[in-house]
Structure 1
């Protein structure tokens, strides 16, 4: 019985510490819960998809998610996600190539001189090494244009893309 009580007390302390970790003081000195990025609903994802420029507004998000499975071993897409073998892709659209945080890019990508958009990513996904010789990316490419459209649409919806007003 004594062991059970000890385990219960330790578990309570761990939970209490986890709940208070990252807690911040709001204005006026009261505690505020840490900010958590809201996960968009399916309806919000559909609305964002519809707002994308052609051809991405016709993308199949389910197929894009399946194609992203080819990328998942090297890339994360969640805000604040870690860099793996490749950089985290959250916020990639509109970002200068080779400038994402917490990742060491190849000299070729650092010197690329373009901003990531659908057109550049389409060329990259078709043949990374052909598009940008000297890249570290070992992915052979996604040859089907429809699969690339679907993957780009999926990435736009899942990585915090904000369409121009």
Structure 2
């Protein structure tokens, strides 16, 4: 019995990194929650364009007027990497108190990983 448990545990640990990458196709579906205010195409909407957000400095999209709270959040040179995006997507209002973004956040870690995978490469999700 212990051997089966260890085998299952090993399989579970090996499976985690693969899921952490996310699924861009599922992320495209998750992006529907964002699409009312954001786009991955050209231009801005109510929210800034999210095309190429990975590796981009926070609050840096030309032509978009950010809230004072988001400007303050960005003041120390933060960059949108996967970890920061994941934390923000889970609770935007908690992370950036006073943000004008009305979105409450995404609760499921799997959905966040999928959304980030889509944002990294929208063209990979037909």
Q: Smaller-chain TM-score range?
A: 0.7 to 0.9
For 1:21-56, what per-residue CA distance to the aligned partner results, in whole angstroms no more than 9, with x for missing partners? xxxxxxxxxxxxxxxxxxxxxxxxxxxxxxxxx567
Partner of 1:61: 24
Answering whether residue 108 of structure 2 is matched by residue 144 of structure 1, we say yes
Question: CA shift at 1:66, angstroms?
Answer: 0.6
Which structure has the higher relative contact order (CA within 8 Å, separation 6+)? 2
User: In the alignment, does 2:35 pair up with 1:75?
Assistant: no
Residue in structure 1 matched with residue 3 of structure 2 by the alignment: none
In 2, distance between residues paired with 1:158 and 1:119? 19
In 2, the alpha carbon distance for the partners of 1:57 and 1:126 equals 15
Map of 2:8 onto structure 1: none
Q: Indicate the RMSD between aligned Cα atoms, in angstroms.
A: 1.7
Which entry has the higher C-alpha Rg, 1 or 2? 1
The SS at the match of 1:69 is helix
Segments of 4+ moved more than 2 angstroms:
54-58
Which residue in 2 is equivalent to 1:117? Answer: 81
Alignment pair present for 1:104 and 2:68: no
- What's 2:117 paired with? 153
Alignment partners' CA distance in 1, 2:51 and 2:79: 14
**Quick one: distance in 2 between partners of 1:121 and 1:56?**
17
